[in-house]
A and B are shown apart, each in its own frame.
Chain A
């Protein structure tokens, strides 16, 4: 049947095939490329061309002008030929893309970005975006060096940069990303971190437990070829530890400020943890603990009246928004926060009073001092008076005076006067004066001075500063109501619930064959005699494709899929427009040919085989040349699809492109050769395709 083409049309056919395949590839590739270019350009506009920039510097928005100047200075000084581009500003953070000239694109520079850019005004950090690269996140410090060396030795790896806990593997070509990723994953696969965690409250010597655990593993002979290492207390995970510990502290801190809720259940009422109780003032309590008769809870909705005293309210079972059930008991609410606030307020008042008091006290001391002085003077005058009085008294009663008559007279007069005086006053006054004289005035003065000294000491204290500080303390009391505190505690608990709070943690590095974490957990629980420990298996690092690499990979994939689909569509079009004509001619020829005996083999029409092969050849070549790639379609499936398409076209050839058997017969009967029949009779009126187009060059009529 193919003999039909032997006299020349096969050349046309071959030419057709070649041109079909080339055009198909160009067509499929072209459209795919256009799609690629469109998306690629959009992407480049946002984050630069692939490999154009190496570092994204995050700068606070308000500092970006200053930062720009500084970056330009650093660029000119340290990296002549650098590229700088300010792109998106997101959430108050400007992002500068910095591209290093090729000579500076090396490990040393990339590992010391901070030393170059640390002083840029407003800098908030940086992100490495060296391309092409593969990023390994969270690399365990115990293996970092070893990994770096191994990865460094992979082909296509330029260098490996340490970036915090990550490793950035810079490659020589972006074609190598998937290969390198695969190889790195294989290397990482060799390691495993088996972590033993003890719940909070178990104080164990992690180093020692680590060694014990290793000994257990060795004695059990698990995975002979594996290589174990105790890597406990490495820095790894400290951040998380700290965070979780902070959360616990935070929870306790918040808890201590929340109102203390105690429920006194009515006899016969059972309350369980987590149950809700609604109170008279629209408060909702969640039961947090049941200790026999004592039930504790926390407020999760509403705010109690602020009171330093204990509030007692009636509690009912909570049945939903605004609905209350049976009475469950009295609920006592006490709030330390209000008490503290009250105490602080009182202290502030006291301090103010104290200052006032000290001023008054010092005035009082001064006054007392003045009184003493006056008193002392008065006392001395009294003494003088006493002496005179005594002399006078003697003079009056003694009489041995040798004074003149004048003197005597005065004395006498006076004597009369003082006699009465002395009789009445001095008699008694003698005693009083004596006792006054016995008062230790100096001593009193001394102690007064002491008091005044102390008062001035008090005055020297900066009460204002103390008051300010206490005021500050008062202000730092959480400005949260009970419901908010309750919600926060709930939230923290939910988060912590998912974590074994890393009280104590032991890490073992396993190299070689893997340990089954659950199997070793049982082993360790037994051997280390701690049923509470848990084991977890983690990897020593995670390979993550860099965002842009990923976008590009997806773009490439989309491009290949589009090209693949276009290849199939193109093949169908070509088969329908061109080859259907040829097949319907061949089928006609076949029908008029001599019919031999119908054997089994004869039924296997070679035309279908030919059609299938043709379909396979066209589709596979176009698919290959247009660099198509459809996931889950390997080459044999592509061949198969082509084959099926070809067979389908042969089957329905006349429907797609009927030949006029009359004309064909006329051609035959006029003695035309087959190639002439094809070129002049069959093809010209056929569907407008490549075959038809190419035929125009050969056609004579």
Chain B
């Protein structure tokens, strides 16, 4: 499904990715963890080329992502659901519009899109909020709108970039619930970046630890948390035992 080989990315002098290799199979749920600034967001954004990698290779659904341009790239992006840490909703649009506007722009009939939109909103428990604007919602609700927007195209793969990191701790739960539900109910491939250790242990089929732009350890949750080999893994075990 997803195959990343020797990916490099620098921002000026800062090396964000320093040769990352990663494979994700179809339907798999992979959680990426690591300290702040280790390159998780950069890695996940490189997958749909929101960030342009400097070098390396990315294969997604059999396509060489690095070679795609224009229409093909857009097509690829539509097949990838992306959930941002900051929600990245369009402020001037309503909740429903936020969820469906890319469908309509892609040529879908408005009524059909609306129906679809309402159904995904129902999935995230926001069917009643369709006419509201993002700033009228709580952080958790906004993130659920973000999730609905990512879901609406039935993507083959969903990329989550710390979806709960900017939420009030009280609101984190509602989002994690939705995520758990999704992981359980769909066969969509998931790559999730999060600091939520217990959540990761619960939903992940594989955990990937990153540090300083590299993958330092990966494996099944039980294994990596109980017998970590890397420094990072050991840190996380400490965190979990407390």
Contact = CB atoms under 8 A, between A and B. Distances in A.
Interface of A: 7, 592-595, 660, 662-663, 665-673, 676, 680-681, 684-685, 700-701
Given A595-B10, A673-B74, A662 B84 contact: yes
Nearest to B101: A701
Interface stretch (B24-32, B44-52, B123-131, B200-208): B44-52
Nearest to A593: B52
B50 A660 contact: no
B50 A670 contact: no
Contacts of A672: 74, 102, 105
Point out which of B71, B79, B91, B101 has the most chain A C-beta atoms below 10 A from its C-beta.
B101
A671 B10 contact: no
Nearest to B94: A701
Interface of B: 10-12, 48, 50-54, 70-71, 74-80, 82, 84, 86-93, 97, 101-102, 104-106, 149
A15 B74 CA distance: 26
18 contacts: A593-B52, A594-B52, A595-B10, A595-B52, A595-B54, A663-B90, A665-B84, A669-B84, A669-B88, A670-B102, A670-B149, A671-B74, A671-B75, A671-B106, A672-B74, A680-B105, A681-B90, A700-B101
A211 to B, nearest CB: 91
A666 B105 contact: no
B92 A594 contact: no
Contact of A666 (B71, B75, B89, B92): B89
Nearest to B85: A662
Given A666-B89, A669-B48, 15 more contacts: A593-B52, A594-B52, A595-B52, A595-B54, A662-B86, A663-B89, A669-B50, A669-B82, A670-B77, A671-B74, A671-B102, A680-B90, A680-B101, A700-B101, A700-B105
Contact of A669 (B12, B52, B77): B77
Contact of B50 (A665, A676, A680): A665
Contacts of B86: 662
A7 B70 contact: yes
Contacts of A676: 105
B84 A684 contact: no
A401 to B, nearest CB: 185
B234 to A, nearest CB: 34
B68 to A, nearest CB: 11
A700 B104 contact: yes
B70 A670 contact: no
Contacts, number: 72
A248 B93 CA distance: 96
A681 to B, nearest CB: 6
B91 A701 contact: no
Contacts of A595: 10-12, 52, 54
Contacts of B104: 700-701
A672 B80 CA distance: 13
Contacts of B101: 680, 700-701
Contacts of A593: 52
A343 B137 CA distance: 120
A668 B97 CA distance: 16
B217 to A, nearest CB: 29
Contacts of A685: 91-92
A681 B88 CA distance: 11
Nearest to B87: A662
A592 B45 CA distance: 11
B96 to A, nearest CB: 11
Contacts of A663: 88-91
Contacts of B75: 671
Contacts of B10: 595
Contacts of B76: 671
Contacts of A681: 90
Contacts of A669: 48, 50, 77, 80, 82, 84, 88
Contacts of B87: 662
A666 B91 contact: no
A660 B84 contact: no
A588 B11 CA distance: 14
A667 B105 CA distance: 11
Contacts of A666: 84, 88-90
A488 to B, nearest CB: 88
A72 to B, nearest CB: 74
A662 B105 contact: no
Contacts of A7: 70
A671 B77 contact: yes
A684 B97 CA distance: 14
Contacts of B71: 673
Contacts of A668: 50, 77
B91 to A, nearest CB: 7
Contacts of B50: 592, 665, 668-669
A680 B92 CA distance: 10
A684 B92 CA distance: 9
Contacts of A592: 50-52
B28 to A, nearest CB: 21
B147 to A, nearest CB: 13
A673 B101 CA distance: 13
A665 B88 contact: yes
Nearest to B79: A671
A264 B78 CA distance: 121
Contacts of B97: 701
A310 to B, nearest CB: 109
Nearest to B152: A670
